[in-house]
Structure 1
């Protein structure tokens, strides 16, 4: 009896007139659509101007894509992209970093708060991060379909073997498989879904948005503590990480965890939120 799962799902769902529709892109789109509907429900419940909603998602999408791309180029492959700057714009070839996306969203919300809501950034983040946790889970499932960002070899019965010569295999070559490995994309996706369920309960049942920064702080700890610990069993994304005590993903997670702890403490000790 095999003690692993051989993963041979094609990253593309369909090819239409030479253009591929990929699972990764579909997961991304579904996440943003669901996110839009959740925040719309929040705005209606609180009688917030719905005109703010369309602007919010334009800022968030731009911040996510630009930040994630620049984050990958700066944090993981600067030697290459500094020598080939035009390659930075070839986003369709892959290369996105979640920490860069997080930084991009923070900058986008800072601009959004200044130009649109004229309220604190925490006002927006306490609402926005609820669906963002679900988007994160869907993006990790997209990584699964792309046969990427998986973990160390293991003999656990739910280990996955991934295609390592993906492009050649997709053009007819025999597949070359990885050793049975931790499906860390699934581990992260499950954790992010649990964070999403918790945040939904905090917002809609517990009215935790009344304590400014609490939901955002719990989100930061839930997402980045998950990322920090799973990185211990995840393969390095770049060769330079091989001799590091903590890899780049873990180092970049630490500031978000610290900020999350501060926001939770601030929200729970502050007598009244400023809404």
Structure 2
């Protein structure tokens, strides 16, 4: 069996300031988004509609706020609502940890809706630019979870070549390195699939809905290998909170994809968009 190396969570220090791997992973995620989204905005179907790099930079600003605020609120009220309703001031104590992807997603969607309205662009068009650029950033954050030795997996067969003991768990049995599973599934694999799917012109909103559906499916699978939160355990039907939160994503993504498919392609759909 492998044993988690127990990396130092602090990447380096600048005087009294400690820079953590987790924080660096978010910087990497935002940097990759800026690069990828700028390339996507330069594609003919977007460039002809007035998209420029400064639009991507503005989207990033809105998106960062959405990730941080939504991710924190999602953790507080999806996973520990009773505790944070009783201790509301601790919602702001982000240094104690606690971020949830599903909350961050809702935060980004809200932020992009505000961005679209402020720029006079169609919300689905904005989300089509954003969606294919997100998964690689998710992969970066999952790698940081592995470095920190957190969000470890469920018990695994010790004969599995990559089964790993996480001393941080307080247990000595082998586990699945589920952080890496998630980095590969909802990160790298979803990124490759969306890049391939988005190469061709699609109906407005179909790329974004493919992301929602794809992430929901891949995260649902990954949750079977991830240890449920100790304060929640498995919920109804033997599913984790993460799986229950993925179900509406899967349904919404599929319904939205079909609905968008009945609309005109992006190059022909101009309603509600300004150049």
- TM bucket normalised to smaller: 0.7 to 0.9
Q: Render the CA deviation track for 1:201-231: whole Å, top value 9, x for unaligned.
A: 233x3233xx111111211122111111221
Inter-partner Cα distance in structure 1 for 2:174 and 2:5: 10
Cα-to-partner distance string for 1:34-82 (whole Å, 9 max, x where unaligned): 1101111222333213332222111100001000000001011122222
Which residue among 163, 166, 169 is the counterpart of 2:167?
163
- State the partner residue of 1:107: 110
**Aligned-partner Cα distance in 2 for 1:73–1:111:** 23
* TM-score, normalised via structure 1 length: 0.87
| 1:194 corresponding residue in structure 2 | 189
State the distance in 1 between where 2:155 and 2:37 align. 40
Of residues 242, 246, 249, the one that matches 1:253 is 246
For residues 1-275 of structure 1, the aligned pairs below 5 Å read 3-45=1-43, 46-47=46-47, 48-116=51-119, 118-154=120-156, 155=158, 156-164=160-168, 178-191=172-185, 192-203=187-198, 205-208=199-202, 211-245=203-237, 246-273=239-266, 274-275=269-270
- The question of whether the paired residues in 1 share the 8 Å contact of 2:163 and 2:176 is answered with yes
1:178 is displaced (CA, Å) by 4.5
1-side partners of 2:264 and 2:92: how far apart?
47
TM-score, structure 2 as length reference: 0.87
Per the alignment, do residues 5 and 164 of structure 1 end up closer, same or farther by CA in structure 2, a change over 3 Å counting?
closer
Deviations 1:165-184 (A, max 9, x none): 7xxxxxxxxxx554210111
SS in 2 for 1:232: coil
Distance 2:136 2:168 in 1: 28
Q: Which segment is superposed worse, 230-239 or 246-255?
A: 230-239
CA RMSD of aligned residues (A): 1.8
SS in 1 for 2:13: strand
Cα pair 2:201 2:265 within 8 Å, conserved: no
Question: Which deviates more, 14-23 or 97-106?
Answer: 14-23
Unpaired runs of 5+ residues, structure 2, are 271-275
Gaps of 5+ in 1: 166-175
Gap change, CA 1:227 and 1:120, over 3 Å in 2:
same
- Does the 8 A contact of 1:76 with 1:238 survive in 2? no
* DSSP-derived class of the 1:157 partner: coil
